[in-house]
Structure formats: structure tokens, C-alpha cells
């Protein structure tokens, strides 16, 4: 499959987004795509959570959801812009700007119009959704959601992305190699 990584273009790289609730295999898949030579921009929420925990806030999203979401939105905008500096056909992202809206909708948090503007201004080229996968679901210091909550978050994510006119392609569960092949085959077919 490494021949996929050799496919290059002189144009701006396409922004490819991987979404899905907690424990769907996004990080493992991105690590694999990175090993094939693709630029992959990692999920930043764990870093924001760890920084808050170092300041004595156990769960920033639960305690100050608007602050947490603002930090994520701003960092994801920076990640979005980072693709302009990369030389590759595709740049893969672990979660996108609309995820911030989806999570706030999920908990019923109101948010300013700047979130909506960010979702409409910064548009991804393709969205792939990884479905909930109970066999790999785990919780830890940063991922506290139960599998049932992960299912609800998945619904919120899909609704949000569809509201912003995306048509996410579902990636089947399976080996990381098969999942990567599925995504790359779809991208190279376009």
C-alpha cells in the first residue's frame, strides 16, 4: 500500500477529516496513515485536557465547556491552516472544527456565532466517519465517556456534519490496514 503515499500533486492538499465518537480507532488509523508518509494532524483535545489538569481542573469540558470548546476551535483553525504549508496530495485530520459544535450540542451548551462561522468558513474536502466499536472502547483520564455516551456522541457528530452539508463516508471496522486501504481507495478514485 505504500504506493498510495507516492501519489502527489502540485495543488493544495485535500483536507481529509476522520470523525467518530470516542474509541472508534481514529488515532490508530492516523498513526498508520502517517507511517505511509501522509501528513496527519492529531487530535488536540487530550493536550488541552492535560494542560487543564495540570492547573487543577479535572475535566475542563465538563466544568467549563465553552472555554474548552473555544480552545479547541481555535487550535483546529490553526491546524486547518497548517495544511497550506504542506506538500502532499492529502492531509488527514483527527476531528474537525464542527466537532466542537457537535459536542456542545450534545451537552446542550449554547455558543456564540463565531463557532458557526468557523464551521462554514473552514471547509474540509472529504469526511470519513469511523463507527462506534464496542470491542475497542476504553476509558482513561482524558476519555471518560461510556460506550452508551459514545453512541450518543456519534449521533451528534453525524447530525452536525450533515447540517454543514457534509456527507460522511463510513469506514468499516477491521484491521488498520484494511481501513486505510478503504479510505485511500475512495480518495484516489475521485
Q: Which of 15, 19, 16, 14 is nearest to 99 (CA)?
A: 19
Average pLDDT over residues 1-25: 70
- Give the global pTM: 0.85
Which of 16-20, 34-38, 68-72 has the weakest average pLDDT? 68-72
For the chain, give the mean pLDDT: 85
Q: Is residue 141 exposed (0-12), middle (13-18) or buried (19+ Cβ within 10 Å)? A: exposed
Q: 24 — phi, psi (to 5°)?
A: -110, -5
Residue 4's pLDDT is 43
DSSP helix/strand/coil, 16: strand
24: pLDDT strictly greater than 80: yes
Confidence of residue 144 (pLDDT cuts 50, 70, 90): low
Q: pLDDT tens digits, residue range 36-52? A: 999 999 888 877 777 77
C-alpha span between 60 and 164 (Å, rounded): 26
Confidence of residue 79 (pLDDT cuts 50, 70, 90): very high
Q: Compute the chain's Rg from CA coordinates.
A: 16
Q: pLDDT tens digits, residue range 101-112? A: 998 999 899 999
9: pLDDT strictly greater than 60: no
DSSP helix/strand/coil, 32: helix
Domains within the chain, CATH numbers bracketed: 13-183 (3.40.50.300)
Amino acid at each position: 500500500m505504500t504506493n498510495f503515499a507516492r501519489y502527489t500533486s502540485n495543488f493544495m492538499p485535500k483536507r481529509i477529516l476522520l470523525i467518530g465518537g470516542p474509541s472508534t480507532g481514529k488515532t490508530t488509523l492516523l498513526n498508520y496513515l502517517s507511517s505511509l508518509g501522509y501528513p496527519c494532524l492529531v487530535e488536540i483535545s487530550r493536550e488541552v485536557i492535560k494542560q487543564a489538569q495540570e492547573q487543577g481542573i479535572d475535566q475542563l469540558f465538563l466544568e467549563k465547556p465553552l472555554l474548552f470548546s473555544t480552545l479547541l476551535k481555535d487550535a483546529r483553525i490553526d491546524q486547518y491552516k497548517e495544511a497550506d504549508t504542506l506538500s502532499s496530495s492529502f492531509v488527514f485530520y483527527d476531528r474537525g472544527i464542527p466537532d466542537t459544535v457537535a459536542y456542545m450540542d450534545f451537552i446542550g451548551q449554547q455558543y456564540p456565532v463565531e463557532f458557526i462561522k468557523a464551521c462554514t468558513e473552514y471547509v474540509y474536502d472529504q469526511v470519513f466517519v469511523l463507527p462506534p466499536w464496542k470491542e475497542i472502547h476504553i476509558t482513561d483520564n482524558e476519555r471518560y465517556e461510556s460506550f452508551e455516551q459514545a453512541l450518543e456522541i456519534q449521533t451528534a457528530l453525524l447530525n452536525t456534519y450533515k447540517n454543514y452539508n457534509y456527507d460522511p463516508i463510513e469506514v468499516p471496522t477491521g484491521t488498520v490496514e484494511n481501513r486505510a486501504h478503504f479510505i485511500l481507495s475512495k480518495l484516489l478514485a475521485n
